[in-house]
Structure 1
Amino acid sequence: MALKTLSAKAAAALDKELMSTGAFSIDQLMELAGLSVSQAVYRVHPPARGPRVLVACGPGNNGGDGLVAARHLRHYGYLPTIYYPKRSKNELYQRLAKQLEDLEVPFVDDFGSAIKSTDHIVDAIFGRLQHRGSPNSADWVTGFSFSGEVREPFPSVIKALEETKVPVTSVDAPSSWNIEEGPPKSGLGSSFMPEYLISLTAPKPLVEHFNGRHFIGGRFVTPSIAKKYDFEMPAYQGLDQIVETGPTGQKL
């Protein structure tokens, strides 16, 4: 049986609930998400296949997940490089960047050059929910960080992701894809199909258009929340923070 997907509206409400009645902080959720991403990368591309990983980070929570994943990857023995052209002024993101700098993880400005000297790419540009302030504040954002308009320098990055032969792992949604409808019908991103996708918390409707290896990372959602939002929690094994499923969410 296929696992149910979570709409953008439901995912926004669930994320808000996790950080209010669920008592999670955004730091915790980002740490758990980034840990899941790092485990997915380790599963599909262990260091022996090539330790160089280029992590492309956007300005929102998706980018924060990428920064956390890069830190874990560095501790696993990889040699990550960070492309983070639109740094957030938020203290959380600044701390995450500082942690990487302390590990001597390089930050690069030229994605086109960096992509030529890497073994794997993590696409953490657009995808996950973008929040500002606290869950009850007036500036809480309940939409996904990709709104349909891609601003520089990201169009050239997405084009490079479309054209590269280097395997790509996308976080929650391939950048340029619509959460509900999948890839654009034409134009930028319409031919972008990463090899790997990790859905955070639960699969989104876009997985119906994805034909690579698919993982779910969300080993923190309580049974009561899963029941409320009407989706099935996968059976995580041992220490794993991820579960691999079929392209449309069915358990392998």
Structure 2
Amino acid sequence: MEKMNQSSAEAEAETIEPLRYLSKGEAAAIETELLRDYRFGQQQLIEIWGQACALAITKAYPLSSLAKKQPTVLVICGPDQNGSIGLVCARHLRMYEYEPTIYHPKRSSQSLHQDFTVQCEKMDIPSLSYLPTEVQLINDAYNLVIDAMLGPDADCANIKEPYPGILVTLKQIKVPIASVDVPSGWDVEEPSQDGINPEVLISLTAPKKCAMSFSGKHFLAGRFLPYDIQKKYELNLPDYPGTDCLIEL
């Protein structure tokens, strides 16, 4: 009987399809469908993703683990959607009693991005006017850096200043880095050979192809995704534990 149970368990395991890793085009198509067909709002999605990123940070770097030092977090935000997600993440981290500081190399003219910026300002979250090039200053001042700069929409072959300079600095720091969706400077579809090396990656909706060989701590935030989309794109998402909105892969 025990042998039969073991055989059926093995057969079931063999039928479980592997998690799907998305190309840049597939990720964009899913987001378009969410906005157009399922009537999700852009602000709604950014809020869902930003809070999930903050929760992932609390799991990867709980306050108790930072008990002997200040829970200082530098959140580097780009001008596009990943930057907005970073702003929401910073706001929620402030609510969770972390001490975020925002660095915004380029301010966006998009009203939604500006709204998220004002929300952070109203929470008294400080911001830097420039990033110290002295690596030691960052190592001494912060215990974690959140990379919400470029994201999946960026053309990694044509990154314009000030971002290349920031990436050079991030490659040198000893402080752990947590990247939102796609580490800045990475191609969405290829693992980076010489880019930044985040300790934590938080994939949004479904993981991207560049994360297939990621060896750090990898979280997935995609529980909100409608079942029809999951089925259409054969995402084979894992079962989320309890009522959690994210899972560690």
Is the pair's TM-score, using the shorter chain for normalization, greater than 0.5? yes
Question: Are the structure 2 counterparts of residues 146 and 240 from structure 1 closer, same or farther at C-alpha, using a change threshold of 3 Å?
Answer: farther
* Contact 1:193–1:210, Cα closer than 8 Å, also in 2: no
For residues 170 and 220 of structure 1, what CA distance do their matches in structure 2 show? Answer: 20
| Identity percentage of aligned residues | 41
Shift, 1:147, TM fit: 4.2
Shift, 1:191, TM fit: 4.3
Match of 2:170 among 147, 161, 165: 161
Residue 195 of structure 2 is aligned to residue 171 of structure 1:
no
For residues 242 and 200 of structure 1, what CA distance do their matches in structure 2 show? Answer: 9
Q: Which residue of 2 aligns with 1:139?
A: none
Q: For each residue in 1:121-164, what CA deviation from the matched residue of structure 2 results, as whole angstroms up to 9, or x when unmatched? A: 10000114xxxxxxxxxxxxxxx134421211111211111111
Question: For structure 1, which segment, 112-121 or 224-233, has the greater mean C-alpha deviation from structure 2 after superposition?
Answer: 112-121
1:121-200 map, 5 Å? 121-128=145-152, 144-183=153-192, 185=193, 190-200=194-204
For residues 170 and 177 of structure 2, what CA distance do their matches in structure 1 show? Answer: 8
Q: Which residue of 2 aligns with 1:224?
A: 228
Shift, 1:22, TM fit: 1.0
TM-score of the superposition, structure 1-length normalised?
0.85
Match of 1:42 among 43, 58, 66: 58
Question: Are the structure 2 counterparts of residues 52 and 87 from structure 1 closer, same or farther at C-alpha, using a change threshold of 3 Å?
Answer: same
2:73 aligns to what SS in structure 1? strand
1:1-252 map, 5 Å? 2-48=18-64, 49=66, 50-112=70-132, 115-116=138-139, 117-128=141-152, 144-183=153-192, 185=193, 190-245=194-249
* Contact 2:104–2:129, Cα closer than 8 Å, also in 1: yes
**Unpaired segments ≥5 residues, structure 1:** 129-143, 246-252
2:44 aligns to what SS in structure 1? helix
For residues 81 and 213 of structure 2, what CA distance do their matches in structure 1 show? Answer: 23
- Structure showing greater radius of gyration is 2
Shift, 1:234, TM fit: 2.1
1:111 aligns to what SS in structure 2? coil
For residues 238 and 160 of structure 1, what CA distance do their matches in structure 2 show? Answer: 39
Displaced runs of 4 or more, over 3 A: none
**Unpaired segments ≥5 residues, structure 2:** 1-16
Shift, 1:98, TM fit: 0.4
* Contact 2:84–2:113, Cα closer than 8 Å, also in 1: yes
* Contact 1:162–1:193, Cα closer than 8 Å, also in 2: yes
* Contact 2:46–2:81, Cα closer than 8 Å, also in 1: yes
Q: For each residue in 1:69-125, what CA deviation from the matched residue of structure 2 results, as whole angstroms up to 9, or x when unmatched? A: 000000000110000121111111111000110111011022226623101110000
Across the aligned residues of Structure 1 and Structure 2, the Cα RMSD in angstroms comes to: 1.4
2:178 aligns to what SS in structure 1? strand
1:53 aligns to what SS in structure 2? strand
For residues 176 and 148 of structure 1, what CA distance do their matches in structure 2 show? Answer: 8
For residues 223 and 123 of structure 2, what CA distance do their matches in structure 1 show? Answer: 27
Shift, 1:195, TM fit: 0.3
Which is richer in helix? Answer: 2
TM-score of the superposition, structure 2-length normalised?
0.86
1:151 aligns to what SS in structure 2? coil
Aligned-partner residue type, residue 126 of structure 1 = L
For residues 185 and 213 of structure 2, what CA distance do their matches in structure 1 show? Answer: 13
2:219 aligns to what SS in structure 1? strand
Aligned-partner residue type, residue 115 of structure 1 = I
Q: For each residue in 1:27-47, what CA deviation from the matched residue of structure 2 results, as whole angstroms up to 9, or x when unmatched? A: 000000101110111011112
For residues 165 and 2 of structure 1, what CA distance do their matches in structure 2 show? Answer: 34
Tell me the number of residue pairs that the alignment of Structure 1 and Structure 2 aligns: 225
